[in-house]
């Protein structure tokens, strides 16, 4: 076989393999992504037994421990909408407390969101948020 033709065949094979790998990577990236639901969305349309990723703010004063379970109430991030009771067992991040935004994976059972063990993530407030306007005198 001609050396120029060999190089061309190798190039075509290598480019085809690269395109297939890139396509597979893109497919798995998008198929694995799930939208995080807010409490008001789950209250309206949750399918029992289906796994969801829930995001919202922990209502201040709602956090309590019951045996190995942590119980708290979650509200939409904007503070409006329905609230949802959550039960969770597993590691709790240090910054977890009332008023903090969290993300937790789990399922709906009887009107309560049951979080998967060790799936709770606390979102820290941004250090780069604009400071409230204050007038100095």
Whether the per-residue pLDDT at 38 is higher than 80: the answer is yes
Helix (H) or strand (E) holding 36: strand 36-37
Query: Phi, psi at residue 17, to the nearest 5°?
Result: -60, -40
Residues 123, 34: Cα–Cα separation, whole Å? 17
- Give the pLDDT of residue 131: 56
Average pLDDT, the chain: 84
């Amino acid at each position: 076989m001609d050396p120029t033709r060999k190089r061309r065949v190798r190039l075509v094979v290598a480019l085809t393999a690269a395109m297939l790998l890139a396509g597979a990577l893109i497919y798995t990236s998008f198929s694995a992504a799930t939208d995080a639901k807010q409490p008001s969305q789950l209250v309206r349309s949750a399918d029992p037994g289906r796994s969801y990723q829930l995001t919202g703010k922990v209502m201040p004063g709602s956090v309590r421990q019951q045996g190995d379970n942590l119980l708290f109430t979650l509200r939409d991030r904007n503070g409006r909408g329905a609230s949802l009771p959550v039960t969770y067992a597993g590691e709790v991040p240090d910054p977890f407390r009332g008023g903090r935004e969290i993300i937790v994976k789990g399922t709906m059972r009887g009107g309560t969101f049951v979080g998967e063990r060790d799936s709770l993530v606390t979102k820290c407030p941004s250090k780069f948020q604009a400071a409230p306007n204050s007038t100095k005198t």
